[in-house]
């Protein structure tokens, strides 16, 4: 993250325990005004609302949440660090943003570089853009910056087993 010019993160769950480990890196990205996009889910209510809120409150971070658990459960995990130097890197595998996944879990992740597997990064970028632009993903930046954690937590729990509707805003 230290040398990234932009970051895209796609994880099923964001846990406070995992975010805490990455906070210094996110603060560095904020100080350097590096754009970050995060896609996560409300599936099973596993994401921690305070963690999602912390990310969404950062001026350089945009967060979108999938509440769709009926058609396609978003289960992918990938961290893409773009660099203008053309030495972009991604980690694609099984690690959500949790303490266990980052520190001690038996996660399978593959490091992909633009130099070795550019076609994989291109595929990830195309898929990420498809997810990012889906109407079923809701941007939480507006909602999160104006409501309490309990409201966001309630929204995430309410949609943990249902499809999102436009009427369910804060």
Euclidean distance between CA atoms 85 and 157, whole angstroms: 41
Structure tokens at 169: 């805003």
- pLDDT at site 169: 35
**According to CATH, what is the number of the domain 6-168?**
3.30.870.10
Confidence of residue 25 (pLDDT cuts 50, 70, 90): very high
Of 74 and 17, which is predicted with more confidence? 17
CA-based nearest residue to 62, from 116, 23, 26, 105: 26
Per-residue tokens: 28: 């560095």
Residue range 36-63, pLDDT digits in tens: 999 988 766 678 888 989 999 999 999 9
- The stretch 88-109 carries a mean pLDDT of 81
According to the model, what pLDDT value does residue 156 have? 58
List pLDDT tens digits, range 107-155: 788 899 999 999 999 999 999 998 888 766 656 543 433 334 445 555 5
Closest CA to 14 of 147, 162, 144: 144
Cα gap 51→63, rounded to integer Å: 11
Residue given tokens 């990938």 in the structure block: 78
């Amino acid at each position: 993250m230290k040398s990234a010019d932009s970051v895209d993160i796609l994880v099923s769950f964001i846990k406070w325990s995992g975010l805490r480990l990455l906070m210094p890196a996110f603060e560095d990205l904020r100080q350097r005004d590096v754009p970050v996009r995060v896609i996560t889910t409300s599936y099973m209510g596993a994401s921690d609302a305070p963690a999602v809120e912390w990310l969404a409150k950062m001026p350089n971070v945009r967060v979108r949440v999938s509440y769709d658990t009926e058609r396609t459960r978003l289960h992918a995990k990938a961290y893409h660090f773009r660099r203008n130097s053309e030495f972009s890197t991604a980690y694609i595998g099984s690690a959500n943003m949790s303490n266990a996944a980052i520190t001690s879990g038996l996660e399978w992740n593959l490091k992909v570089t633009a130099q070795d597997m550019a076609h994989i990064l291109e595929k990830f970028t195309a898929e990420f853009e498809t997810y990012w632009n889906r109407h079923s993903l809701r941007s939480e930046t507006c909602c999160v910056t104006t409501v309490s954690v309990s409201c966001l937590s309630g929204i995430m729990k309410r949609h943990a087993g249902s499809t999102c509707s436009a009427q369910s805003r804060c």
